[in-house]
Chains A and B, each alone.
Chain A
Amino acid sequence: MAETLLAAEGLTKRFGGVFANRDVSFTVGRGEIVGLIGPNGAGKTTLFNLVTGFIRPDAGSVRFAGEEVTGMRPDRLCHRGVARTFQILKPFPRLTAEENVMIGALTRSGGLAHARAVARRCLALVGLEHKQNVLARGLSTGQRKRLEMARALATGPQLLLLDEITGGVDQPSIPGLIELVARLRDEGVTLLVIEHNMRVIMGLADRVVFLHLGEKLAEGTPQEIASHPEVVALYLGRRDGH
């Protein structure tokens, strides 16, 4: 495996008496696409929030590019090269697509003109260049997902965390989004991806981490995960799957 870019060690988060994540450890190597899968309520988004600094873990640590970043604020993490999208999309609704992406570029370098150029390039990369002057709230769900990716890319990330690539998107848009993620990897971005659609993740990820009830149940190549007895049992709903 390549150089380790992200290393999560023993991450634990409790909400009241419930473990949202319990002792979860995994690594992401530079240049990889790692899939994070699991049933609803498995703790995938909580894990994202722990890694990106939106919530602080009760125990465990996060290292990014060799440095300890546990509990670091999201904006500081962003400056180090970690960007994310949100499962429940969070565009700036009353800004245009271009302005949305400019925000990401502006935190990296001052000038408006430069930010506009970066925004145009990122919008073109995700295929939204024709929407640059449309208010974000006027975009479709699929377009808003692309917009969030463009916005995150404008910060020049080393690691991009995508929370649900295809969730809530109409069927015909899915292949384009998958292709986009693959293209981002070719651009040199490392990706950690939450995805519900097994077929999508199997075709995309180098490795897959499987979460269930907050704990890491399995990790491996897509093929290994697909044939993992507990994963099969959970996804096919069999209780005697061993």
Chain B
Amino acid sequence: MRAWLAQRVEGVPAAAVVALAAALAVYPLVATQPFWRHVVIMSMLYGAMGVAWNILGGLAGQVSFGHALYFGVGAYTAAYCYKFLGLAPLLSLPIALAISAAAAVLVGLPTFRLRGHYFVLASVFIMEGIHVVVSNWDRVGAAIGLEYPVYKASGFVDALWHGQFQTKLPYYYIALALLALALVAFRAIQRSPFGMFLVAIREEQDAAQSLGVNVARCKLYALIASAAITTLCGMFYAQYVLYVEPTSTISLLISLEICFVAILGGIGTLWGPVLGAAVIVPLTELLRAYLSGRIALDMSGLAGGGIGAWLEYYARGGGGNLDILAYGLVIMLIARYRPAGVLGFFRRID
């Protein structure tokens, strides 16, 4: 047992992994306030999405700025199927995964044969295009979105089937399971021949191809796997907030948050996105919570007050979005001091 705990899982001692898992499992029993549970739920959700993003971005080196598309596919499919078709999440799951894979093929098939940054551009523009379509599509609620009919469950199993709970505790453990699933999937891929092909593509695409690696197909499979996990996270999110609308699901900001979690934590590493999410998500959630009461500031002094009045207005949280500014600041600091990501603080970069 002791020997096993001293083993390392991608640079992190197995004992530390066990301790982390135990801490996460016990945390909501200690932190009973909904807000503190919520912060960790969102951290684990983004951690899972960062790990999923990393399959494509970290292993294969294909940077996607459009992963919110797959998040949105999950969220909207779950909401639409529940609201209009009466399908429980478990039943809409295969539909969501099929749409997600189709979307991945739509983005990846034309661009993965090409070299350079075509995939990055396609990932953004297709996601933004779908955002516009969804924002104007009345059937899915257009810009207003879809609100879940609230279900009063009789018993835990019934609540689980409908994916609606009265407290955050079940959501918490589902998010933890999603994170575990993402980590297991990433590690399984990383250690498989397929994962080695992805890394070879990232390191030197021509050489990989000359050695018999079907570059376009490998990238596409990586995208489909990555998108599938992200779609699961989207479904979870919809069931969690019981409301989907375009801006909080299929948007560039969500896309960037997903990939920042991976990039800030340590791109291409198993634990990087977990660490990245643990740093950035609580920060933004706290900023949001802290600022939410202060946004309705008095704007009357701005007209004649000059730049000083504006600066004061923004410093006090006027206009909102200070969390996004904080994002920018954290990114600049990490890019300056630890380009390999937050993991770089804990180990030497060779």
Interface residues of A (CB under 8 A from B): 52, 54, 73-75, 78-79, 83-84, 86, 90-95, 99, 102-104, 106-108, 110-112, 115, 148, 151-152, 154-155
Complex contacts, B215 vs chain A, CB 8 Å = 75
A110–B196 Cα distance when bound, in Å, is 12
A83–B210 Cα distance when bound, in Å, is 7
Complex contacts, B209 vs chain A, CB 8 Å = 73-75, 78
CB distance from B329 to the nearest CB of A (A): 30
CB of A107 within 8 A of CB of B212, answer yes
Nearest residue in A to B200 (C-beta to C-beta)?
A103
CB distance from B207 to the nearest CB of A (A): 4
CB of A92 within 8 A of CB of B200, answer yes
Chain B binding surface, main DSSP class? helix
A99-B196, A102-B196, A103-B196 are known contacts. Are A93 and B203 too (CB-CB below 8 A)?
yes
CB of B211 within 8 A of CB of A151, answer yes
Complex contacts, B192 vs chain A, CB 8 Å = 112
Complex contacts, A94 vs chain B, CB 8 Å = 199, 203
Nearest residue in B to A148 (C-beta to C-beta)?
B207
Interface residues of B (CB under 8 A from A): 192-193, 196-197, 199-200, 203-204, 206-215
A-B contact pairs, 27 of them (CB 8 A): A73-B209, A74-B210, A75-B210, A75-B215, A78-B210, A78-B211, A83-B210, A83-B211, A86-B206, A90-B204, A90-B207, A92-B200, A92-B204, A92-B207, A93-B203, A103-B196, A103-B197, A103-B200, A104-B212, A106-B193, A107-B197, A107-B212, A110-B193, A112-B192, A112-B193, A148-B207, A155-B211
Complex contacts, B207 vs chain A, CB 8 Å = 86, 90-92, 148, 151
CB distance from A177 to the nearest CB of B (A): 19
CB of B212 within 8 A of CB of A75, answer yes
A78–B213 Cα distance when bound, in Å, is 9
Complex contacts, B196 vs chain A, CB 8 Å = 99, 102-103, 106
Given contacts A75-B209, A75-B212, A75-B214, 5 further A-B contacts (CB under 8 A): A54-B210, A73-B209, A75-B215, A86-B210, A151-B207
A116–B113 Cα distance when bound, in Å, is 29
A152–B208 Cα distance when bound, in Å, is 10
A3–B196 Cα distance when bound, in Å, is 37
CB of A92 within 8 A of CB of B203, answer yes
